[in-house]
Amino acid sequence: MNRLVWELRRAQWRLGLFGLLAVLLLGGAAVIALTEIVPLRNDIAGREADLNARAARLRQPPPPSPDEAVSPVSPEQRYFVFLHSLHAIAAKNGIVIPQITYQAAAQEKDDPSLKRYVIETTFSATYLQFRGFLRELRTLPGLRCERLTVSRPNIGVTQLEVRLQCAFLVEAAK
């Protein structure tokens, strides 16, 4: 024990005041690293792993549940009801849809009772109008948004240019 005390006093004499301050600063940095940086790095690694797992789940979109056309209504009639709902939701949110393309997609091979229709549209809207439109659009059964492109031609303009492609699945009653 005496030898250790003697070595510490000798180190203090050799290092001087600036050396002692440097040792204290290094010790403080080590304490900060152990109490702040290491737990923060572990937290970031955990969050990154969680985010990667969530991103992997999002790459494969869930299959849309088809809308069901009950007995007296055909799938085509159900599709026209959907189109009316789409335009009503757009009008409710103050969105004017100047251009829209409707087309029947190829018949499903594994389930011939399913009919798929593709809707492609472009329109302009503010961010709040677009958000409300998309929120209400997601409540329609059988609808799946496949592609969405949102752009702002100028940073000073609040209007968004939106290009939206949706698929509508309807199942004929059995």
Alpha helices in the chain (DSSP H): 2-32, 38-59, 75-92, 127-137
H helix or E strand, kind and range, residue 151: strand 143-151
Looking at the fold, whether 20 and 79 belong to one and the same domain comes out as: no
Determine contact, residues 114/170, Cβ cutoff 8 Å. Answer: yes
Q: 166 pairs with which residues across the strands?
A: 119, 145
Looking at the fold, whether 48 and 90 belong to one and the same domain comes out as: no
Among 38, 60, 82, residue at a domain's last position: 60
Looking at the fold, whether 83 and 135 belong to one and the same domain comes out as: yes
Looking at the fold, whether 75 and 137 belong to one and the same domain comes out as: yes
pLDDT of the residue at 45: 93
Determine contact, residues 152/161, Cβ cutoff 8 Å. Answer: yes
Count other C-beta atoms under 10 Å from residue 89's C-beta.
18
The range of the structural domain enclosing residue 12 comes to 1-60
Looking at the predicted structure, is the pLDDT value of residue 109 above 60? yes
Looking at the predicted structure, is the pLDDT value of residue 64 above 60? no
Number of domains present in the structure of the chain: 2
Looking at the fold, whether 135 and 159 belong to one and the same domain comes out as: yes
Determine contact, residues 137/143, Cβ cutoff 8 Å. Answer: yes
Among 60, 75, 102, residue at a domain's last position: 60
| Banded model confidence at residue 121, pLDDT cuts 50, 70, 90 | very high
Q: Tens digit of pLDDT for each residue in 4-32?
A: 888 878 877 777 778 878 888 999 999 98
Q: DSSP states of 102-131 as a string?
A: EEEPPPPSS-TTEEEEEEEEEEEE-HHHHH
Looking at the fold, whether 48 and 95 belong to one and the same domain comes out as: no
pLDDT of the residue at 9: 81
pLDDT of the residue at 85: 86
Among 27, 44, 60, residue at a domain's last position: 60
Looking at the predicted structure, is the pLDDT value of residue 49 above 90? yes
| Banded model confidence at residue 2, pLDDT cuts 50, 70, 90 | confident
Share of the chain above pLDDT 70, in %: 86
